[in-house]
Structure formats: structure tokens, C-alpha cells
Homo-oligomer: A and B are copies of this chain.
């Protein structure tokens, strides 16, 4: 059913039908009613593809995420989708994985589909490959990075003070008498590296030399958390606190402690980062650095929508993290 079909049936021109369908003024009330009735009878829906072509706007945005299955990510995607949907935008969610190549491919694909704007979820997108791809594929369209930033005129960053947040976490532990701390770095994203910096700074403040620090690396799965915790217990049986750069591996780590009857938090206190759904599901409930995912999502959606409608925003904004204390500390 196209406007032409309807026009033929009504005995009017296609433009008249178009005007009625778009609630434009300047139509005799009688014709309007008649055509409106036909529109409903034949269940007419304007072809968004054709409309997009002439309007030069797809009314779709792209959301790039490395892996939406991680609770923290899906929450962000969910909130962004809900927000932009209110303004009639659809979300094209793409899981890119960690490789630069797939990130670039995804950006090219989105530009080919002419999305009106893009949100990149996570500081992992703060890299040269992505920057270059954005520069050629989206030179004008608004782009927002959550938890990261790249230097381009049309790119906005919504940042969280994770370095400062991690320093606060160390002090939080220290205040509870935990000074022998291990830090578990998830992977080398800019965000995680600033957490590491925060850890180092705060530990030095406590009088530890950089060489003494217990810094380990483990990806973001339960199993990695288990493995690294076993290793830490092996190498530092006197550990008093463990700060994981992300929640899921912290949960894996806690389970090892539980199984070995090392009391949490009595003997070892544990913290994560992301304040995700996992924190309430595991046992004991996990204290976590809240990096303001929900707020970040709303801000990212708002800034993107502003950009789509020509409103300006500062290119970077910063949100402040806080610690959500639960049972593990």
C-alpha cells in the first residue's frame, strides 16, 4: 500500500494523501476525513526507507558494544534504547568484540546504513582505529562515547572519575584496616588503566612503593576471577583486601574464598567495579564502585538527541563515582 494506491482509490493526487498522512495543514476537512478513513482501512504505513531517503535521515542510531551479554553493558544499552525510542529513534545494537578490526567494520556498516548518530559504550572504543573510522564515516553526525573520549569535533564524551573512584576505594579499604591489598586489572582499556593508576596513587599514599604492589591481570569472567584469586592466595596468603576492576571476576574470586573457608569480609574484604546486577546475586553481596552506569546512559542519550537536533553540549562531561557498600567489605 503506497500513497499512490490510496490516491488512486480516493481519486486524488499522491501529494494530497501525503499531506493527510503527515497531518499537514491546508486540506479541506472533507477530503481529509475521506482519505484518513482509507488510510486506516488499508492499514497504510509510510515506508520509512523512502522517507529516510528524501529526508536524509534514517531516524536510527547505532549503539556499539563489545559484548552486550555483560550485565553492565546491557543495562546501558537498554536505557539508551528506551530514551531515544521516546523521540522516535530506533537503535541498531552491534556487538563488536574487542578487536579493532571488527570495531571499524561496525562503524563502516553503520555509516552505510546512514544512522543519524552513534553511541560507543565503553572506553575500549577510545583508540586510534576507532577515531580514524569515525573521522571518515561520521564526520558530521553526533557521536557519544560513554566512559571515554576521542578528540574530534563532533564527538562527545561522558566520563566517570574512575581514577579518583579507585583511590577512594583504596582509602575505603584502609579505613577498615585493610592495607595489604591486591588489584585485579581486567584488561588494558583506558578506563581500566586509570583504575590502576588510582590504585597505585592511593597505595603510595599509604606508604607502599610501586614495586611492592600486588597488581594482577584477569579478564572479566567468573573463571578468570577464580584462577587469579587462587594465584593471589598462593603468592600472598596474608592478603587483606582484593579490588577487582569489574564485578564478575570479583564474584568468581569470592567463591574461591568461600570454598576455602576464608571469611569475607572478616578475613579478606572484596570489592568490584560497575555496581552491576551481579552484586546482589552473589554471596556475600558485593561492595562495588558505582561508576554511574544509569546516569551515564541517560546523559549519553540526551547528548546524542541534543546533537541530532542541533543543540550544543560541552564535548566532555564528568560524573562522579561513589562506593556502594554491601556485605563483602
Closest to A74 in B: B74
Chain B residues with Cβ below 8 Å from A69 are 71, 74-75, 78, 277
> A82 to B109, Cβ gap below 8 A?
no
Beyond A58-B49, A78-B68, whether A258 also contacts B281 by CB under 8 A is no
Nearest-neighbour CB distance to chain B for A288, whole angstroms, equals 14
Bound complex: CA A95 to CA B90 (Å): 11
> A92 to B91, Cβ gap below 8 A?
yes
Nearest-neighbour CB distance to chain B for A319, whole angstroms, equals 21
Nearest-neighbour CB distance to chain B for A168, whole angstroms, equals 26
> B53 to A81, Cβ gap below 8 A?
no
Contact among B94, B281, B283 for A278, CB-based, below 8 A: B281
Nearest-neighbour CB distance to chain B for A297, whole angstroms, equals 12
Beyond A49-B49, A69-B75, A283-B282, whether A93 also contacts B81 by CB under 8 A is yes
Q: How many residues of A contact B (CB 8 A)?
A: 47
Bound complex: CA A68 to CA B90 (Å): 15
> B81 to A114, Cβ gap below 8 A?
no
Closest to A110 in B: B90
Contact among B58, B71, B78, B281 for A251, CB-based, below 8 A: B281
Instruction: Give the contacts of A1-54 with B (CB-CB under 8 A).
Output: 43, 45-50, 52-53
> B280 to A283, Cβ gap below 8 A?
no
Closest to A255 in B: B283
Chain B residues with Cβ below 8 Å from A222 are 280-281
> A48 to B136, Cβ gap below 8 A?
no
Copies in the complex: 2
> B90 to A92, Cβ gap below 8 A?
yes
> A68 to B77, Cβ gap below 8 A?
yes
Chain B residues with Cβ below 8 Å from A112 are 45-48
> B53 to A82, Cβ gap below 8 A?
no
Chain B residues with Cβ below 8 Å from A210 are none
Interface: A291 (CB within 8 A): no
Bound complex: CA A255 to CA B283 (Å): 8
Closest to A109 in B: B90
Beyond A112-B48, A114-B49, A222-B281, whether A91 also contacts B93 by CB under 8 A is yes
> A108 to B45, Cβ gap below 8 A?
yes
Interface: A287 (CB within 8 A): no
Interface: A263 (CB within 8 A): no
Beyond A74-B69, A93-B81, A281-B282, whether A49 also contacts B43 by CB under 8 A is no
Which 7 A-B pairs give the minimum distances between C-beta atoms? A283-B283, A45-B112, A48-B113, A49-B52, A74-B74, A49-B53, A281-B281
Binding site for B on A (CB under 8 A): 43, 45-50, 52-53, 58, 60, 67-69, 71, 74-75, 77-78, 81-82, 85, 90-95, 108-109, 111-114, 136-137, 222, 248, 251, 255, 258, 277-278, 280-283
- Return 21 A-B CB contacts under 8 Å, by A number: A43-B136, A47-B53, A47-B112, A48-B113, A49-B52, A49-B58, A49-B114, A53-B53, A60-B92, A68-B68, A68-B74, A68-B77, A69-B78, A81-B93, A85-B94, A90-B92, A90-B109, A91-B93, A251-B281, A278-B281, A282-B283
